[in-house]
Structure 1
Amino acid sequence: MQYLEQERMLRKEGLNGGGLRLEKDAMHSLKEILACFKVDRWTKLVAKKPIFELDTIVSTSHAQVGQQNRMISDTWSRLYKCMDLAGRDVDKLQYVINAAESIQQKLEEVVGGGSMSNASTDLQTYFGCTVPDIVEIQTPPVSVTKGRAKRMKTGVEKAVEQQMHARMCHYCMQVTSHDSRNCPEKRN
């Protein structure tokens, strides 16, 4: 019955026999695409599935895991169906919010309220240690990070210093690695 009404509307709008060939006048007179031609991939409801795969529950029996997955999927589909029924109506959305809050309160009472896991408890269980009450780490000493007090010698300069041969200093009259120009006794 609904199909016949939509076909009459198509003929009225200028579509030939329900076909997809539109005439120029019919294109300008259409205000929106009819529901029978709207595909889910064009709407925001295309991602009507939970984003995360919840297969991390380890169970002894495969049938129990399958049943849990079906229950999780059914829960998500019911939640999305409720949101779809609420649409953009503020009163209906407020009703959904109130219902979700009441469900959350009931679940917190069942679980025990305070035992709901949060990020810090998850990290503590993952690493196997607790956060200490008193922090015993001291701040590092302040250091100068810009520049250097003395110029760094290149590899060539280091090699030249190592290969220096002994020579006779005419100031102190010793065979050493210095000469009379840079004799340490001359400086004193």
Structure 2
Amino acid sequence: MDAQRHSQAHNDNDSKTKYPHCKTTLAIEKHASEVYTNSVFYEFQDEVHKGCFSCDIEDLIKENEQEITIVKEDDRRRTYEVVFNCTTNDTRCSCKMFERKGIPCRHMSSVCKRKRLELIPEKYVLNRWTKMATKKPILGFEGNIMEQCARMVDRKKILNDLWSEIHSCVSLAEDNEEYLSDLVKSIHTLRLELEAKKSGNVPPPSKTQDIEFLIGAIAPTETLIKPPKISKNKESGPSGEKAATSGTESDKWLKGDKEKAIEQQQKKKRVCRGCGELGYHDIRNCPEKLSS
């Protein structure tokens, strides 16, 4: 996401500060450089250039208010039919490039050149390809501005302008270390002024407020979810009141064979009255007595 935001901010800054070079003297190409983003303009510029130098008009048919122009490209045998409305300037081409990509094709450009149009008809300048695409409000399905968006339109425009100015300043100063240092000092001074203004009216946030801000939720007044009860794990003895009242070690933990063997080795050996040998047993559990 950070890479996408950086790429978008870089492209927005280029579209605002860098003006692409026009290959022709057509006013329609200059108009495209003013409204389109740089990447979209270069695609449209290629279509305009090919429309001027690679397309020929083979036939022209007039029907009422419409003109049907037959356009042929130099390197293709196929011809394309462009329908132009002289009253509304509506243009349709049989190649359907505008319907597919949202950019007027070379055949439409050649007709616009012949009609000496200085501006691209507003109908064929899609909002998503313009420099102002992110500054316009979001519309709902019925064409109305969404309620949540309506409250944020002005704030969104100001934020977009702010980010645009910041990226423009960084772009201008990135090649000069002195300019970068001055820019950092200016931003640091401005940040201190904003902090002073904010701290004068609003008390500093508490630790609880900081945690709520990071989590994105407000702490409830009543605790409904509590820690779970202690479960009886493997090899564990009785828990709860029984373990608390007994207080013995054996009640809290069931000893394993290894632990029993270690405790047995720590005991002092004694003489068994049954077999007469030193060991960890007595006459009650003497091995010889048990075997017999």
Using the size of structure 2 for normalisation, the TM-score is 0.23
Q: Which has the higher strand share?
A: 2
Bigger relative contact order (CA 8 A; separation at least 6) = 2
